């Protein structure tokens, strides 16, 4: 990925950010520190690429409503996911970047629930640019320690996912162990 970024520069940042924003944006900051392109250009390209990728998943949800509603996964988890979307609203577009494994589901759900595209575009663009700025600056500032930083970002994501899975298991076990009072 590093050599692809170095060779194709800004275009590579935009393209790779559609798929993997975290590592791409950190590496964009590193490459900007090397002087191959400006940091603001790398941040803008990364934010634009992330927005394009997010829009694809939003569109999948928006255009496949009937099929998604019929899936076993949606019948099982849909009501809970919708409740969270209603509770947190468009703020979830910011939170999804922090919680491992929730980005795609959140984007599809936004489309599925009929969130107006202008609202999605506005808040997702803000989210993408904030995330691109944060990670681009991290890569730029810590470019000497970029390899370490990339491993740390991935390990934090994995740890967060593990904690989330453990919390769900504890919740399910506790919920099943508490029997309703029968009179």
Q: Is the pLDDT of residue 118 over 90?
A: yes
pLDDT band at residue 69, thresholds of 50, 70 and 90?
Answer: confident
Q: What is the pLDDT of residue 7?
A: 80
**pTM of structure:** 0.72
At 147 the pLDDT is: 59
State mean pLDDT over 69-90: 80
How far is Cα 57 from Cα 167, in angstroms, rounded to an integer?
A: 27
Give Dmax (Cα) for the chain.
74
| pLDDT at 175 > cutoff 80 | no
User: pLDDT tens digits for 85-113?
Assistant: 778 788 888 888 887 777 888 898 889 88
Burial code (b: 16+ CB inside 10 Å, e: under 16) for 128-150 equals bbebbbebbbbbbebbeebeebb
Under DSSP, the state recorded for 56 is H
10 Å Cβ neighbour count for 120?
21
Residue 45 near residue 10, CB atoms below 8 Å: yes
116's enclosing H/E stretch is none
pLDDT tens per residue, range 1-52: 667 777 888 998 999 999 887 888 988 998 898 888 999 999 999 999 999 9
Q: What is the model's pLDDT at position 6? A: 76
Q: Please tell me the distance from the alpha carbon of residue 131 to that of residue 97, in angstroms, as a whole number.
A: 8
Domain span including residue 29: 2-177
Indicate the pLDDT class of residue 149, thresholds 50, 70 and 90: low
Quote the DSSP letter at residue 33.
Answer: H
Q: Considering its fold, how many domains does the chain have in total?
A: 1
Nearest to 74 by CA among 85, 62, 65: 65
Residue at 48 is within a domain: yes
The answer to whether position 183 is within a domain reads no
Are 27 and 147 within 8 A, CB to CB?
no
């Amino acid at each position: 990925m590093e050599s692809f970024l170095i060779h194709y520069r800004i275009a590579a940042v935009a393209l790779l950010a559609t798929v993997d924003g975290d590592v791409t944006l950190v590496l964009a900051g590193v490459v900007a520190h090397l002087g191959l392109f400006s940091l603001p250009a790398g941040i803008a390209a990364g934010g634009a690429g992330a927005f394009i990728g997010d829009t694809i998943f939003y569109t999948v949800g928006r255009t496949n409503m009937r099929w998604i509603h019929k899936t076993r996964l949606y019948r099982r988890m849909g009501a809970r996911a919708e409740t969270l979307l209603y509770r947190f609203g468009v703020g979830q577009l910011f939170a999804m970047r922090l919680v491992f494994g929730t980005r795609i589901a959140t984007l599809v759900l936004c489309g599925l629930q009929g969130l107006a595209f202008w609202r999605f575009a506005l808040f997702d663009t803000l989210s993408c640019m904030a995330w691109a700025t944060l990670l681009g600056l991290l890569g730029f500032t810590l470019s000497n320690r970029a390899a370490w930083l990339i491993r740390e970002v991935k390990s934090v994501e994995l740890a967060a996912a593990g904690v989330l899975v453990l919390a769900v298991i504890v919740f399910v076990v506790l919920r099943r162990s508490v029997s309703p009072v029968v009179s």
